[in-house]
């Protein structure tokens, strides 16, 4: 019987890629007096639900989604967490 998997995906720029948005946020924080802030990097956070036969299948689907659309493999890395939910559970 298929199960629902709540998925939490984190997409970040590769360390070798410059992050102008992160630099701008870091500068803004320092202007506000947060002098201890350093190394700000901006990324994406995505939540979705996948229905799959098992966790391995859910992970395979997520890898494909990330490789094909959710992340740019040339400049971004991704990782994800998933939690099994019984079908019908909302929390």
Cβ(4)–Cβ(86) below 8 Å = yes
Residue 49: per-residue pLDDT:
97
In terms of Cα–Cα distance, which of 49, 47, 46, 48 is closest to 2?
49
Q: Domain span at residue 46?
A: 3-85
CATH number for position 8: 3.30.1280.10
pTM of the full predicted structure? Answer: 0.86
Taking the C-alpha atoms of residue 58 and residue 52, their distance in angstroms, rounded to an integer, is 5
pLDDT in tens, the chain (91 residues): 899 999 999 999 999 999 999 999 999 999 999 999 999 999 999 999 999 999 999 999 999 999 999 999 999 999 999 999 876 555 5
- Identify the sign of the CA torsion 11, 16, 18, 21: positive
- Which residues lie across from 79 on neighbouring strands? 10
Give the pLDDT score at 1. 87
Within-domain flag for 90: no
Question: For the chain, percent helix, then strand, then coil, each to nearest 5?
Answer: 30, 35, 35
- How many domains does the structure of the chain reveal? 1
């Amino acid at each position: 019987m298929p199960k629902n998997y709540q998925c939490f995906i984190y997409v970040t720029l590769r360390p070798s890629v410059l992050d102008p948005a992160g630099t701008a946020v870091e500068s803004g924080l320092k202007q506000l007096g947060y002098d201890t802030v350093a190394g700000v990097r901006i990324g994406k956070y995505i939540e979705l639900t996948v229905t799959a036969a098992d966790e391995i299948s859910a992970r395979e689907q997520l890898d494909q989604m990330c490789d094909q659309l959710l992340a740019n493999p040339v400049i971004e890395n991704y990782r994800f967490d998933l939690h099994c939910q019984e079908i019908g559970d909302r929390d």
